Amino acid sequence: MSTQTDVTTNETKTATNEKAKVKIQAIVQVGMLAAIATVLMLFEIPLPFAPSFYEIDFSEVPVLIGCFVMGPVAGAMIELVKILLNFIINGTITAGVGELANFLVGCSLCVPAGIIYRKTRTRKGALIGMITGTFVMTAVGCFLNAYLLLPTYAKAFEMPIDALVGMGTAVNPSIDSLMTFVIFAVAPFNLLKGFLVSLIVFLIYKKISPIFRMHQK
């Protein structure tokens, strides 16, 4: 009886230690991917069809990889840590509204993709997830820009919203209102970013995912 009890106790301790090890490894991976995302966030590419304050970065690549490897919740945590680290490093010019919008827009790409891929762990599942995430991100990005980010940005810099629209008109004559700004600048921006981020992840994920799975064992 004593021997059986000792065996059971040892098995319980082993299982507990394994769970603790997995949690620690997950925290390390979240931190590592968030740090990479923060660095990538510093490198921005201007676009010819949008004002200068719309620049593409590839910080969602590590976030999306984290979603595929560890699940959508972990991906959202990576996005959150990325935003917090960037906030600490660069501060804010939008009273935190821009950072909140960045978090929500980033999650709207990665979380749906992660949810779909978790149910269908195939290349097709990943592709469907990323396409879905791109369209969700575009819709969320348009809504947030029209009703939260652009009005707050204008207020922070003490300029009328028409001045922001004018910045859009300067690069695209079709932009003559807030709605056309969203249609011709914000929507293409998010579609292009979603496509590029998804393409990079699609090309590299299978090659680098064994590294993360190895650390999870």
**Residue 139 is part of a domain; what is its CATH number?**
1.10.1760.20
**Res 100: pLDDT:** 86
Kindly state whether residue 6 falls inside one of the protein's structural domains: no
**Res 93: pLDDT:** 74
pTM of the full structure: 0.85
For the chain, residues with pLDDT lower than 70 are 1-22, 212-217
Kindly state whether residue 145 falls inside one of the protein's structural domains: yes
Kindly state whether residue 4 falls inside one of the protein's structural domains: no
Q: What does pLDDT average to over the chain?
A: 86
170 exposure class (CB count in 10 Å sphere: 0-12, 13-18, 19+): exposed
**Res 126: pLDDT:** 93
**Overall domain count for the chain:** 1
**Res 10: pLDDT:** 53
Query: Can you give the residue range of the structural domain that contains 161?
Result: 17-216
**Res 202: pLDDT:** 93
**Res 17: pLDDT:** 61
**Res 99: pLDDT:** 86
**Res 214: pLDDT:** 44
Query: Over the range 15-30, which residues count as b (16 or more CB within 10 Å of their CB) and which as e?
Result: eeeeeeeeeeebeebb
Q: How many CB atoms lie within 10 A of CB 6?
A: 10
Kindly state whether residue 5 falls inside one of the protein's structural domains: no
Kindly state whether residue 9 falls inside one of the protein's structural domains: no
